[in-house]
Structure 1
Amino acid sequence: MKKLMNFKGLLLSGMMMLGMTAFAQDGASTTENYDQGFRLGFGLNGGVTTGDYFNFALGGDVRLQYDLSQRTSLTLTTGYTHLFGEDNVPDLGYIPAKAGFKAFVWGDRFYVLGEAGAGFAVTNDYNETTFLWAPGIGYANDVIDLSLRYEGANDFKTDQVALRIAYGFKL
């Protein structure tokens, strides 16, 4: 448990340091004539869990993104995540509903993302709702979005480290 807490602290510290560099860029701004707008992305997720009750996670999501500038965006993400239980532990499926902030920190391709929201259990005997928080890093171009995130789900007694592969487009 102590190793997990150290991992969480290290991951959060790294995300904060990367996020601070997003606003410490030199040079003239290229956002004067930037056309703000919406993007929509459809993603597949696969990950490993860090708890004692589940083996791995699979899911899909839909992310709506509003570009504030060329380097910053607001996000809303929902979908479905299925956690596969160990031995006699039943599987758990939940619907995440998260809001977040995305900042490009290295050129216009690499970003950090922070999301927070709720996870609503929808399978078996689980009837809980949990707080979700998810820092992540990723790479995006006009259509492909690849990211790695840590997602904490306290009341489900597990967390996950997941890879997301998504297809996105402007609306």
Structure 2
Amino acid sequence: MKNTTKILIALFVFVYSNVAMSQQSDDGYNRNFKFGVGLNGGLPLNEPYDFNAGADVRLQYNISSAYSLCLTAGYNNLFLKDEADFSYVPVKVGYKTFLFKNEFYVMGEIGGAFSTTKDYNENSMIFCPSVGYATKYVDISLRYEFLKNFPIMKDGVVDNGLAQLMVRLAYGFSL
């Protein structure tokens, strides 16, 4: 996890220094930030989880009209069938590319998922490719989320590698 923290800090420093130098590039595009608040719901693809629900905030820096850098953090709760729920805080950095008139996009995110469950002290890397549709204020996306080190049941044996499909509905605005 120490490398993930270093990567997040390096990305923040890069974005901040880029903004501090100039808000307008030579190509005339006015680079800006967007802020979004989203609700997440998902279907875990592994046992023993039933459903995932959560919320997040995202800071997006628009490099150009087609490319953006993102920093996302939130809280997710995995509901289990017969046991106490499992929750975690995801912190991710991402790269978003807009397609087709800057409304549809593909995005990749990587980061850390930090367990907040009392009896589980492990953390995990998190990988999230996604596709979505964004307007000036609304963002809807579908993503595949893989948490490398979180526990699952496979053929009755405890294993690692939680996979899930998540839907995000968010409201965003320019800063």
Aligned residue for 1:112?
Answer: 106
What pairs with 1:85-100 in structure 2 (closer than 5 Å)? 85-87=80-82, 89-100=83-94
Deviations 1:135-160 (A, max 9, x none): 00000010000000001012113221
Structure 1 match to 2:118 = 124
Does residue 148 of the first structure (1) align with residue 148 of the second (2)?
no
Where has structure 1 moved over 3 Å in runs of 4 or more? none
- RMSD (CA atoms): 1.1
Partner of 1:37: 32
TM-score by length of 2: 0.78
Q: In the alignment, residue 55 of structure 1 is paired with which amino acid?
A: D
Cα deviation code 1:18-69 (max 9, x no counterpart): xxxxxxxxxxxxx921100100000000000011121110000000000000
Instruction: Give unmatched runs, 5+ long, in structure 1.
Output: 1-30
State the 1:166 CA deviation.
0.1
Alignment match, 2:60: 65
Identity within the alignment, %: 45
Question: When you count strand as a share of all residues, which structure comes out higher?
Answer: 2
Q: Distance in 1 between matches of 2:111 and 2:48?
A: 22
Aligned AA for 2:93?
A
